Amino acid sequence: MKVSGVTIVAALLLATLFAPAYGQVAPQVEQNQLDRANQSQRVPPQSPTGLRISDQQAVNLARERFQGNILRISLVGEGANRRYQIRMENEGKVFTVFVHATSGRVSGGN
């Protein structure tokens, strides 16, 4: 049986037209289209250490809420409970402020 070039072209044309209907060819979507579609679901990027708040940002957040001198800052807790422990002093009173390392939520001050 001899197959002509016209027969091959016709077969390819039919395959191209009907393949998507049968799910044989997946539609191609560019990555930047996916990125634009999912922008509302993005979270702020994390640093390589998994923190979103730096120690300087934590100090600034603590100072917005409480007056005093910074005595010491350290990172405490693990996983989702990582937070900065900031020791502060104001007029002779020493107190501790916690700043959540991911959300920036400030607590303490006692």
Annotate the chain with three-state secondary structure: CCCCHHHHHHHHHHHHHHCHHHCCCCCCCCHHHHHHHCHHHCCCCCCCCCCCCCHHHHHHHHHHHCCCEEEEEEEECCHHHCEEEEEEEECCEEEEEEEECCCCCEEECC
Residue 48 lies in a domain: no
How many domains does one find in the chain? 2
Averages of pLDDT over runs of 10 residues in the chain (110 residues) are 58 56 48 47 50 91 95 94 96 96 90
Q: Do 96 and 70 belong to one domain? A: yes
Query: What per-residue confidence (pLDDT) applies to 49?
Result: 58
Do both 37 and 59 map to the same domain? no
Within-domain flag for 20:
yes
pTM above 0.85, yes or no: no
Domain with 90, as residue range(s), is: 55-108
Q: Is residue 46 part of a domain?
A: no
